[in-house]
Structure 1
Amino acid sequence: MQVKTERQVALVTGGSAGLGLELVRTLATEGWTVVTDGRDRTRLTAAAERDNVVPVPGDVTDSEHRLALAAVVHDLGRLDLLVHNASTLGRSPLPPLRDVGIDDLRKVWRANLGAPLVLTGALLPQLIESRGILLSISSDAAIEHYEGWGLYGASKAGLDHVTLTFGAENPEITAYAVDPGDMRTQMHQDAFPGEDISDRPLPATVVPHLMALLEQRPASGRYRAHDFATPDAAVSAGATPK
């Protein structure tokens, strides 16, 4: 039975670790009801420590799991924010494109492009009704060309295109592809096996910029998270925060 909540509702994929986890926690603290998923049931359950976080264990590339996510959103009666955060790097160490095979392509593109594409389509009516926001976590590899990052970067370039096309086709929503910058996450560590990545900022430092983006709500487009100043940054620069 559908019972429409008065709270704003967000669905954040990949919310059991890294940037997804920090974003889920922040949204929940700000009073949102947050639906989130992850493949590791134990870690996801531990991450969903607030009453207004709804964990749905599973792999976003699985069609039955996507149906389960859509069912939870339907029961809540609204969707104000859809965040495509879950993704995969592919093989580690990162292979050059000459060594990439169809199995590599299938794995990376199903997670990074296919799943967001079909999940957005399934949830589009709710997002349109709320005049909500579609936010896809991108990468600088989508527009730059780094050795070993070709397959991942191509998948993120595709995600950017799909996300912003949804926005162009549905002017009732606002669509963003956002580059969060380098972060100290397990996925980034997997990209540099054996290297010290402790100089990268923690995901928690990126979330305030994403929240500033949501608050300012500029036109649909591709942005860098750090293009959006946080209130603390505005104060330090001598500006008056909104």
Structure 2
Amino acid sequence: MTTKTALITGGSAGLGRALVAALSDQGWHVVTDGRDAARLDRLRDLPGADRITAIPGDVTDAGHRDALRAAVDERGGLDLLVHNASALGPISGDTRHRLLADTTPEDLQYVWRHNVGAPLVLTSLLLPRLAASRGVLLSISSDAAVEHYAGWGLYSASKAGLDHITLTFAAENPEITAYAVDPGDMRTQMHQDWFPGEDISDRPLPETVVPHLLALLSSRPPSGRYRAADFPALRAADRAVV
């Protein structure tokens, strides 16, 4: 059986790492990246480490995106592209909860490059491979893309933009299926960064979300925006079908 290949951005921590672990354990070859090389290096401790290609770098960097494409080309195909890496905003002082009226052009550029620009360009680079396999484009969204939270405006707008380009890729390329998925609140470092000093232990771990994403990939509904919780988690015995 031919090994499937996935590219997951931001795979060194949180939901990205949990998804890398799950797919590599199922026999997928996973290409992934992260800005923290030391943290990315810890992927070698996963059971499926021999099926993981980890490339340190920032997805907003053109040279790094070329390295990701080269790794995919070396595999000879791409079945799944997951846009998981993202930025809350320039985090220093009170900028994490900056109101729209106080947002600077530099804030906008930083968040938009990470959350919209990089996924757009990377998808375009990999589209021929993804289309050839009739693969899946999966973008990790947020409820903030459709809700309106004071202080979250720039991040929210970027996630709404990510949803839009993800589903427009599907409209323009019927060979692929595309999903923008709200994973729900999770107990991740990124979430903790947004609520410094607060106890977020009531949030579920990202590992609990992964079975719902696998169920989505297994059921392969039409392209669209979904909530991970809408897909009942697959039993361990059924996950090999993904």
Please confirm whether the aligned pair reaches a TM-score higher than 0.5, indicating the same fold: yes
Matched, 1:150 2:146: no
Change (3 A) 1:30 1:200: same
Identity value in percent? 67
Task: Tell me, in whole angstroms, the C-alpha distance in 1 between the residues paired with 2:207 and 2:167.
Answer: 26
Partner of residue 9, structure 1: 5
What 5-or-longer segments of structure 1 have no aligned partner? 234-241
Counterpart among 4, 17, 33 of residue 21 in structure 1: 17
Partner of residue 228, structure 1: 231
Partner of residue 209, structure 2: 206
Partner of residue 138, structure 1: 141
* Letter of the 1:68 counterpart: A
- Deviation, structure 1 residue 147: 0.9
Matched, 1:124 2:130: no
Partner of residue 58, structure 1: 57
* Letter of the 1:216 counterpart: S
SS in 1 for 2:2: coil
* Letter of the 1:180 counterpart: P
Maintained 8 Å contact 1:48/1:54: no
Partner of residue 177, structure 1: 180
Maintained 8 Å contact 2:142/2:183: yes
* Letter of the 1:225 counterpart: A
Q: Deviations over 1:208-230 (max 9, x none)?
A: 00000000000000000000001
TM-score relative to the length of structure 2? 0.92
Change (3 A) 1:155 1:48: farther
- Deviation, structure 1 residue 231: 3.2
Task: Tell me, in whole angstroms, the C-alpha distance in 2 between the residues paired with 1:6 and 1:69.
Answer: 21
Task: Tell me, in whole angstroms, the C-alpha distance in 2 between the residues paired with 1:231 and 1:208.
Answer: 6
Maintained 8 Å contact 2:30/2:52: yes
Task: Tell me, in whole angstroms, the C-alpha distance in 1 between the residues paired with 2:97 and 2:85.
Answer: 18
Superposition misfits of 4+ residues, deviation over 6 angstroms: none
Task: Tell me, in whole angstroms, the C-alpha distance in 1 between the residues paired with 2:143 and 2:183.
Answer: 8
Task: Tell me, in whole angstroms, the C-alpha distance in 2 between the residues paired with 1:174 and 1:231.
Answer: 20
Partner of residue 70, structure 1: 69
- Deviation, structure 1 residue 28: 0.2
Partner of residue 30, structure 2: 34
Maintained 8 Å contact 2:9/2:16: yes
Alignment size in residue pairs: 230
- Deviation, structure 1 residue 232: 4.6
Matched, 1:216 2:212: no
Q: Deviations over 1:81-111 (max 9, x none)?
A: 0000000101343211111101110110100
* Letter of the 2:80 counterpart: L
Maintained 8 Å contact 2:212/2:234: no
Matched, 1:44 2:40: yes
TM-score relative to the length of structure 1? 0.92
- What is the root-mean-square deviation of aligned Cα atoms in Å? 1.5
Task: Tell me, in whole angstroms, the C-alpha distance in 2 between the residues paired with 1:118 and 1:100.
Answer: 25
Task: Tell me, in whole angstroms, the C-alpha distance in 2 between the residues paired with 1:121 and 1:232.
Answer: 34
* Letter of the 2:75 counterpart: L
Task: Tell me, in whole angstroms, the C-alpha distance in 1 between the residues paired with 2:13 and 2:89.
Answer: 17
